[in-house]
Amino acid sequence: MAKARVTITLKKTIMDAQGQTVEKALHNLGYEGVQNLRIGKYIEMELNGAPAAELPTQVDEMCRKLLANPIIEDFRVEIEE
């Protein structure tokens, strides 16, 4: 059984309103050094059945079809066998 980890973030050219709100809140709490905070998603899944060589392609397809919005989001996939 393999495990896939997917990290999804907004593209650098897309304004991250949630990240800006959290950054301002941290400043209000006294954490003035926080800058350029961006919020993303982290997905972890176990994969069973497919040959190991096909897993990166399958997870990439999952991201492009459902897990991420490739128009506004970037994603990174790590697979551990």
- Domain coverage including residue 75: 2-80
Domain tally, the chain: 1
Distance separating alpha carbons of residues 7 and 72, to the nearest angstrom: 14
Task: Say what the pLDDT of residue 50 is.
Answer: 86
Q: What is the mean pLDDT of residues 29-43?
A: 98
Q: Which pLDDT band, with edges at 50, 70 and 90, does 58 fall under?
A: very high
Strand partners, 78: 5
Q: Three-state DSSP class for 68?
A: coil
- Locate 63 and state its tokens: 């991201």
Task: For the chain, give the percent of residues with pLDDT over 70.
Answer: 100
Q: What is the mean pLDDT of residues 18-46?
A: 98
The answer to whether the predicted template modeling score (pTM) of the entire model surpasses 0.75 is yes
Which CATH number characterizes residue 51's domain?
3.30.1280.10
Strand partners, 47: 2
CA 5 to chain centre: 9
Distance separating alpha carbons of residues 43 and 7, to the nearest angstrom: 7
